[in-house]
Structures are given as structure tokens and as C-alpha cells.
Structure 1
């Protein structure tokens, strides 16, 4: 079967790239011909632009603008190595359409040909960001007589704003088979009055085996034991906790976030394969990222996860609750000095295996309907 997927593509984020790869790889393993749609709307196309002015106050006159760009140039030039790392990963591992699409109307006017279309995974329906308001991520461009499936789509929030509810209801109602990543997402859809069956499934990264992920890992020259920290927000509580743990255990600190200035090793300019390797070889992981948590579980690592300042914490909360390891989620006033929780992976892996089976069955059965119709 020919399948086209759509997700947040080429956004230079480790988790986004790896979940995109995983869904395509699983579909390929099942005997399908799958590729992602090369969809790059304007709001997802501002990465690595040399002449972008992020702060409006520097747009006031040409001298301020010039000074801003001169100051930013060295850092932006250096970051091109990061772009190249991600682009190489996409080139070798993520098959995409040759045609580039910029908006939903372009997709409608020149529909990528397929037997079935899948939207997901990641935060494609998060209306906190522009993608959650983009009809393309709800498969709006796909004709009514074509098979439409959402796989592990994430709202990443607990509830929709009133002004977006009708839009979301209309778009999701057109999808033939609906699955979401979080239980909170299922609640959102049911609250909209959509009566179709909604299935909770795992993120695509769980659809392929740990051995397959190991094949993507690279060799790194870190001989010491280390804590891997993945923190987008420069959270001072995370920094304090990581430094304390490193000091107590004699560990080094490793990161892939440019904002983590206290790390002993930083691989910000490297791509997804390095991210995988650092998690696989870490002795402990501290993050506020869903996919850092997901791969910690895949590689059976001990970890803690902190809430984010942004309203996107349902991902970590629902996932850790699903696996009955909620104690790894650090909230408000948790006493971190005596953190001793240890994940029992023998028990967790049994639960995970059952959930993976449900996820694969959803996809298999949903795709069968095109043959039956």
C-alpha cells in the first residue's frame, strides 16, 4: 500500500526527527511503501535564517538592524553545522516527497498520491502553536473518499480554547480512524462530541525494536560515567539537581542543548544519532522532554523528568502514569536532595510490550479498511 504521512517535518528537533523516522520504518517493515510529505509552512521554516530579526525592537532602523545581525552572525554561522547534521539524518533515513508544499491549499491543488494518509505523531494538534491551527495537520487536504488516519497525534495540553473548538471538531470528524498519544487527548476529542472510537497509542518510537535504534547510534569518545541533561528552558532547579547528583556520584554532565552552559561535554551541533547514543550510554538522565523520557524507557535507563513552564506537560504526565512510574515526574516542591526512586524495568517492560501490541494493532486494522472498502 502507498502511504503518505504528515508531521512537523525538518524542524531540527531530535524527538521530531526520530518519531518521524520510526513511523515510516514501521510501515516499511509491514510491507508498505511509505514516505512523509515535505510540508514546510512559513511558521516552520524560520530555522537557520541568517537575516531573521527575532526581536522587533531591532527593526526600528537600519543601524540597529545591522548591529543585531553582526552580533548574531558568528553564532548563526556555527549553527549551520547543526543544520547539516539534521539534514544528513533526513537524507539517509527519512524518505519524503520531492515536491515541497507550503500550505494546505497547495496540498489540495496537487495532492500527493497515496492509498492512505496518516497524520502524526508529535504535537501536530497543539493549538498553543500554529501547527495546531493548521488544517493540513488534520488531513483537511485529503478527499473524503481517501483513507485518513491519525496516529499518536498529540494536543500536549489539557483543554482547547473556546475559539478553536469548532475548527478542531470539524477537522477531526473527517478522519476515519483516530488515535492519540495521551489520554488527555482522548478526553479533548470526546468533549467535542465526536462519537467515533478513539484509541490511545504509543509514540511511533516504540513501534520499532531497541536493536533497530542501536543501529542508528554513533561511537562517542566519552569514557567517564555521565548524567545526560536535556533541558530546553535553562531550568535552575534542573541545574541544581544535576550538579548535586554529578558531585555526589562523580559523574560528568553531558548535553545537546546550547543553553546548558554547565555541561562538561556538549553536542549541540550534532544530530539525532548522537542524541540516541548519549541516552543509550548515560548512567542517569534528567530532562523536561517527552522524547528524552521515551528513549530512556526504550534503553531501560533510570531518569527523572521535570515539568515545563509551557503548557505542554500532559505528554510526560500521561505517559509516566500509563507506565505506573509517576514518581519520576518532578513537580513543584518535591524534595530533590533525597531522590532515590528506581524504575523496575522487568515490570515496566511487560506493560510496555502490551501497549506496543495495542498500538501496532490499531495501525494494522486501520489500514486494512482500505482493502475491505
Structure 2
């Protein structure tokens, strides 16, 4: 079947790009033909003249070409939609529309694009599904949108959600029963296309979601104490104090985690790839109210003791002295993985 996928992608965000790729990969694995609906949160109908010049220059820089190559090689796409109105006026032809994963149902992230992530475009003949969709928050703070969301979700054949908190929101606010599934990145136990061999190196990898000097200083000092080399896997070099000249590629981001001896991050997908490659890690609490996804996944795997409020609490706990026993953890993750695969296959195939 032809499946059109709508998610948050083309953001130059490692987690967003990898969850998009993993969903495409999973749908292909099940024997279907996926295409990414080619609209981006940053799309504009008419960028200014200076904006077009800046975009042209940016696309030529190594930081951008690394992502452009990834999107070109790994993401099959529909035609480009430059605005929401273009999508609504000429929606892609498909047997199924799927929304997910990631925080596609968080209007604070999707902003003026929020409605389209409830798939209210196209004909009623197209089957609508969500896979691992997430709110990323515990509370719905947009009461003015409740009636619209209820109506839109009633057109879905199946709704699956990534977090238990999201399932509660769907049930309590919108009257929709959903099924819990893993993030699509966790459907796979390796990414050989990115990591041809698993060679552990004496590195401490840290992944700050934005500029975070406290985390940087802490990780650099900790690496010295542990006899490891610190690697910032979100390191960027700039020119003119603004344009990002170079940064880690998506493939190298995965390899950095896969090869590491220890990882520290606030990132959900940083955690996901630690689990995939069975790396030792510590998670720092999110600095915003979007930490439910971290708490939920760690709770499912009985790893609540691996998340810390701050670097001081982390330093006192010294988790590097108490390694995670993956022989105990992996059967739990594999059971969740198997169940999520069965659900994805069933919701696509079922009439």
C-alpha cells in the first residue's frame, strides 16, 4: 500500500530526523511504499529577498549539506508543499495517512501548523492512523481546540501513542482510547547502515540540546577524571558569529553514541540510541515541561534511577560505578519492541 507520512522532520534536529527515518524504514520493512509529506515547520509561502539569499548561502555550508544528503538518500518524499494551504488544496494521493511519531500533537511546537497533524486534509476514503504520536506534555493547555481535535481524531481508524501520559490525555480530554507503542527508533536493535561495526572507544559523549555551558564544563571535567575523551555530539562551528559552518552528521551522531563508554544527555532520542546500542548512560531532567517522554520510557524499563535533577545529583550518584545490566534490561525492551511491531503491522493491514 501507498502510505503518506506526516511528522516533524527537516529541522536539522538529530532526534526528529532519526524518528522520521525509522518510521519510513519500518513501513518499508512491512512491505509498503512510504512517502514523507514534504512540508516543514519552517516552510514559508514567500521568504523575503534577504531570506532567500541567506537560505541559499546556508545550503552551501557543510553543516547543511550533511543533512541535505541524509534527506535525499534516506527519505522518499512527496512534492514540496510550501504552505499549509498548498497541502490542503492538493493533498498527496495515498491509501493511508500516518501521523507520528514525536511531538506532533504539541501545538507549542507545531504552532500555526498544528491542525494538519490531526490529518484533517484529503478525502474521507483515505485511512488515517497515528503511530507513536506524542504530546510531550502532561496537560492540554488549548481548550479552544478541544472540539476540533475530538472531531479530527474520530476520523482515525487507530490511534497509538508513545507515552502513557499522552494516552491519558487522549482518553480524558478527547474521549479517545489509544494503544501504547515504542518510539519508532526503538523498533530496531541496530542501524548497520550508520554503524557498520560496534567498536567501543574510551569516550564520554554528551549531547546538550542547546548551548549548555554547565553541562559542557561538567562533562569535560568528568571525562578527565574517568580517563575518557569528551565528545560533544552537538558541537557546531560558526562563521560571522551566526551562520553554522559545520556540525556532526546524523550518521556520526549515531556512531558517537554507539561507540561511547558513557553518555550524558537530556535528550529522549539520545536515551533511545543508548538503549539500542546498550551503552551506559545518565539522563538529566528536561529544563522545560516536556520531560514526560523520558520519565515514561525509563519507567517502562525500570530505569528510573538513571535520571537526575542536575549535575550535582548526578555527580553524587556516580552511575558510572554501577553499570546497567543489559542482560536484565534487554528482554523487557525486546518484549516492547515485538509488541510495537505487531501493532504497527495490524493497524496498517486491518480494514
Over 3 Å counting, the alpha-carbon distance change for 1:163 and 1:38 in structure 2 is: same
* Alignment check: 8 A CA contact 1:8 1:16 kept: yes
* Distance in 2 (alpha carbons) for counterparts of 1:343 and 1:78: 41
Corresponding position: 1:136 with 2:116: yes
Report the RMSD for the aligned CA atoms in angstroms. 3.0
Corresponding position: 1:357 with 2:303: no
Corresponding residue of 1:329: 307
Over 3 Å counting, the alpha-carbon distance change for 1:216 and 1:284 in structure 2 is: same
Match of 2:276 among 298, 303, 310: 298
1:27 deviates by: 1.1
Over 3 Å counting, the alpha-carbon distance change for 1:155 and 1:255 in structure 2 is: same
TM-score of the two chains, using structure 2 as the length reference: 0.87
* Alignment check: 8 A CA contact 1:152 1:201 kept: yes
Q: Can you list the C-alpha shifts for 1:101-134, whole angstroms capped at 9, x where unaligned?
A: 1334322321211111110111111122235852
Question: Which sections of structure 2, spanning at least 5 residues, go unmatched?
Answer: 239-244
* Alignment check: 8 A CA contact 2:106 2:135 kept: yes
Over 3 Å counting, the alpha-carbon distance change for 1:169 and 1:342 in structure 2 is: farther
* Distance in 1 (alpha carbons) for counterparts of 2:36 and 2:205: 31
Match of 1:307 among 285, 290, 293: 285
Aligned residues: 338
Corresponding residue of 2:242: none
- After superposition, where does 1:43-192 map in structure 2 within 5 Å? 43=42, 51=50, 80-97=61-78, 99-131=79-111, 134-161=114-141, 162-192=143-173
The structure whose residues are more often strand, as a share, is 2
* Alignment check: 8 A CA contact 2:21 2:74 kept: yes
Match of 1:316 among 275, 285, 294: 294
Corresponding residue of 2:209: 232
Match of 1:277 among 255, 261, 283: 255
* Distance in 2 (alpha carbons) for counterparts of 1:202 and 1:50: 43
TM-score of the two chains, using structure 1 as the length reference: 0.82
Q: Can you list the C-alpha shifts for 1:293-351, whole angstroms capped at 9, x where unaligned?
A: 00000000001111222221111111111111011111256252341342121111101
Question: Which sections of structure 1, spanning at least 5 residues, go unmatched?
Answer: 53-68, 262-266
- Please give the secondary structure, in 2, of the residue aligned with 1:360: helix
- Please give the secondary structure, in 2, of the residue aligned with 1:214: coil
* Distance in 2 (alpha carbons) for counterparts of 1:269 and 1:79: 13
* Alignment check: 8 A CA contact 1:227 1:246 kept: yes
Over 3 Å counting, the alpha-carbon distance change for 1:19 and 1:223 in structure 2 is: closer
Larger displacement relative to structure 2 (115-124 or 103-112): 103-112
Corresponding residue of 2:230: 253
1:164 deviates by: 3.6
* Distance in 1 (alpha carbons) for counterparts of 2:333 and 2:235: 32
* Distance in 2 (alpha carbons) for counterparts of 1:218 and 1:81: 23
* Distance in 2 (alpha carbons) for counterparts of 1:118 and 1:304: 33
- Please give the secondary structure, in 1, of the residue aligned with 2:193: helix
Q: Can you list the C-alpha shifts for 1:175-216, whole angstroms capped at 9, x where unaligned?
A: 220011111110111111424x31111111122331xx0222
- Please give the secondary structure, in 2, of the residue aligned with 1:192: helix
Over 3 Å counting, the alpha-carbon distance change for 1:188 and 1:325 in structure 2 is: same
Corresponding residue of 2:175: 194
Over 3 Å counting, the alpha-carbon distance change for 1:159 and 1:338 in structure 2 is: closer
Flag as ranges the 4+ runs of structure 1 deviating above 6 A. none
- Please give the secondary structure, in 1, of the residue aligned with 2:248: coil
